[in-house]
């Protein structure tokens, strides 16, 4: 990332940067991007999962395994480290962007901007790092095939959906290449633009099932559904082992005292106006919560705060940030003193309208990042009973659009646009890659099933 201004060196024109991107095809052709070859020294997927479990809360690791074993799609979601080593040997044009690092179709959704508008985009950044743009796009299209199979789609439908996602990425990247940098920084996929891009039937369903639901997902809604009054005070409802109210931190210290120290460090990462806003709230309760699939076992705290009165809640989520699963596979990985800082910087770069209370901190030598737990956030549910090809295609179009915007904000959109071009060459190549990678995901899922049967890994009965 540049840290000083260059007053004298002329900036290459958009056309020149597009040509430079096009010339990169001589190094790595678009057709060659179809290649899926496993690393010679590929680490056994189960060994990777076992190694990850050693850095997590021991009694929650079986819950993670149980969630991953529900389907090949859940396995893919939890297996970012497994696919990361396979992406290491995939071909790349050499153009770097801030990548999500755990890109898949369940990693998109709508959230509220500071202006209280709904925006569609990427919603999880735990693995974000600078890296090849292809890694995100290849994991995305692989997830489309895996998710499509989970939803009951046949080969033709899955492959068509991947082509649509890559086409959307290509065409929107070309649009972004023509924008000025400030215009691009302000660019958003708001709810109206997204709905207008959808077919009428899908538009109605998205408005009813995604947008309206997100508008109702507020701090007050969390208060009514996840807390109870006890001695005239709100208290987070326990659901062991998934939601556990704690009185001590990991070292025996009073949890509220420990949180107070943590919040002091966290607030230093916020701008002065955000610190003033947050200082008006007080901590009421805290609980440890299990979230997601791949994140299960990492430390995650939900903090209930109270503002003007008892009915003015603020829920914050402090989520552990470990080293990105991509870091071992990138030659030049950015170095951060705090992994939460890495996540926040990546999110601020590529999300477009990040949470106003996004920040980071450390307690007991564990890095965390902090965000609002629920602030008009909504995501698509992958239910085989409620999906069809038109919905899948429309959703994949939106995912390709959002990923292109993320990459354009942090990379050279003109160079990427020049490389991906106007033809369907990349669409076909990445569809071939996606099918091969999805097949490998199923083989790895079978290995995990066998490991569970052989008691090589522990699997919870309830999760």
- Give the helix/strand (H/E) hosting 284: strand 282-289
In a domain, 380, yes or no: no
In a domain, 458, yes or no: no
| Kind of pairing between the strands at 233-236 and 282-289 | unpaired
Task: Tell which phi-psi region holds residue 258, choosing left (phi > 0), alpha (psi between -120 and 50) or beta.
Answer: alpha
The reply to whether 160 and 300 lie within a common domain is: no
**From CA 224, how far away is CA 97, in angstroms rounded?**
41
pTM for this entry: 0.96
The reply to whether 239 and 333 lie within a common domain is: yes
User: Per the structure, how many domains does the chain have?
Assistant: 2
Instruction: Please say which residue of 316, 337, 372 terminates a domain.
Output: 372
In a domain, 29, yes or no: yes
The reply to whether 106 and 225 lie within a common domain is: no
In a domain, 385, yes or no: no
The reply to whether 312 and 240 lie within a common domain is: yes
Instruction: Please say which residue of 304, 339, 372 terminates a domain.
Output: 372
**Strand partners for 49:** none
In a domain, 9, yes or no: no
**From CA 130, how far away is CA 95, in angstroms rounded?**
10
Query: At which residue do the structure tokens 């980071």 appear?
Result: 360
Burial 83-117 (b: 16+ CB within 10 A, else e): bbbbbbebbbbebbbbbbbbbbbbbbbbbbbeeee
The reply to whether 71 and 147 lie within a common domain is: yes
- Low-confidence residues in the chain, pLDDT < 70: 1-6, 249-251, 332-334, 352-353
In a domain, 378, yes or no: no
The reply to whether 24 and 129 lie within a common domain is: yes
Amino acid 1: pLDDT: 58
The reply to whether 302 and 410 lie within a common domain is: no
* Whether residue 252 has a cis bond before it, omega within 30° of 0: no
In a domain, 409, yes or no: yes
The reply to whether 325 and 250 lie within a common domain is: yes
Amino acid 462: pLDDT: 76
For residue 173, give its domain range.
14-214+391-453
Amino acid 258: pLDDT: 81
The reply to whether 106 and 24 lie within a common domain is: yes
Instruction: Please say which residue of 308, 338, 372 terminates a domain.
Output: 372
The reply to whether 131 and 225 lie within a common domain is: no
Amino acid 260: pLDDT: 82
Cα dihedral 142/143/145/148 (nearest 10): 180
How far is CA 101 from each of CA 83, 201, 329, rounded to the nearest angstrom? Answer: 10, 33, 12
Residues 6+ apart with CB under 8 A from 232: none
Amino acid 363: pLDDT: 87
The reply to whether 359 and 414 lie within a common domain is: no
In a domain, 167, yes or no: yes
The reply to whether 36 and 174 lie within a common domain is: yes
Amino acid 5: pLDDT: 64
């Amino acid at each position: 990332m540049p840290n000083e201004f260059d007053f004298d060196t002329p900036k290459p024109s958009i056309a020149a940067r597009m040509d430079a991107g096009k010339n990169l095809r001589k190094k790595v052709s678009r057709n060659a991007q179809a290649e899926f070859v496993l690393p010679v020294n590929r680490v056994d997927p189960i060994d990777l999962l076992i190694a990850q479990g050693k850095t997590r809360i021991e009694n929650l690791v079986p819950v993670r395994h149980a969630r991953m074993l529900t389907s090949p799609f859940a396995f893919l979601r939890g297996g970012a480290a497994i696919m990361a080593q396979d992406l290491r040997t995939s071909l790349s044009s050499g153009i770097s962007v801030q990548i999500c690092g755990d890109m898949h179709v369940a990693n998109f959704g709508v959230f509220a901007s500071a202006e209280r508008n709904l925006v569609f985009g990427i919603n999880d950044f735990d693995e974000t790092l600078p890296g090849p743009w292809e890694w995100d796009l290849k994991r995305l299209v692989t997830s489309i095939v895996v998710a499509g199979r989970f939803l009951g789609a046949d080969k033709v439908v899955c492959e068509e959906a991947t082509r649509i996602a890559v086409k959307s990425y290509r065409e929107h990247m070309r649009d972004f290449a023509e924008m000025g940098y400030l215009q691009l920084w302000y660019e958003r996929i708001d709810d109206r633009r997204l709905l207008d891009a959808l077919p009428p039937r899908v538009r109605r369903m998205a408005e009813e099932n995604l947008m309206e639901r997100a508008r109702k997902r507020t701090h007050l809604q969390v208060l009514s559904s996840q807390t109870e009054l006890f001695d005239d005070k709100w208290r987070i409802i326990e659901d062991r082992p998934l939601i556990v109210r704690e009185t001590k931190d990991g070292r025996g210290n009073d949890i509220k005292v420990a949180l107070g120290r943590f919040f002091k460090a966290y607030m230093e990462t916020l701008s002065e106006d955000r610190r003033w806003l947050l200082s008006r709230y007080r901590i009421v309760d805290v609980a440890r919560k299990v979230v997601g699939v791949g994140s299960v076992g990492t430390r995650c705290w939900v903090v209930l705060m109270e503002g003007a009165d008892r009915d003015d809640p603020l829920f914050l989520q402090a989520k552990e940030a470990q080293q990105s699963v991509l870091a071992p596979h990138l030659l030049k990985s950015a170095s951060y003193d705090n992994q939460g800082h890495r996540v926040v910087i990546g999110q601020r770069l590529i999300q477009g309208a990040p949470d106003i209370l996004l920040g980071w901190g450390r307690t007991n030598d564990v890095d965390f990042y902090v965000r609002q737990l629920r602030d008009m956030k909504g995501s698509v549910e992958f239910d085989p009973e409620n999906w069809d090809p038109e919905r899948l295609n429309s959703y994949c179009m939106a995912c390709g659009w959002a990923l292109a915007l993320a990459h354009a904000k942090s990379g050279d959109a003109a160079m990427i646009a020049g490389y991906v071009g106007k033809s369907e060459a990349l669409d076909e190549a990445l569809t071939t890659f996606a099918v091969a990678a999805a097949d490998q995901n199923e083989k790895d899922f079978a290995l995990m099933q066998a490991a569970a049967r052989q008691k090589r890994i522990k699997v919870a009965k309830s999760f």
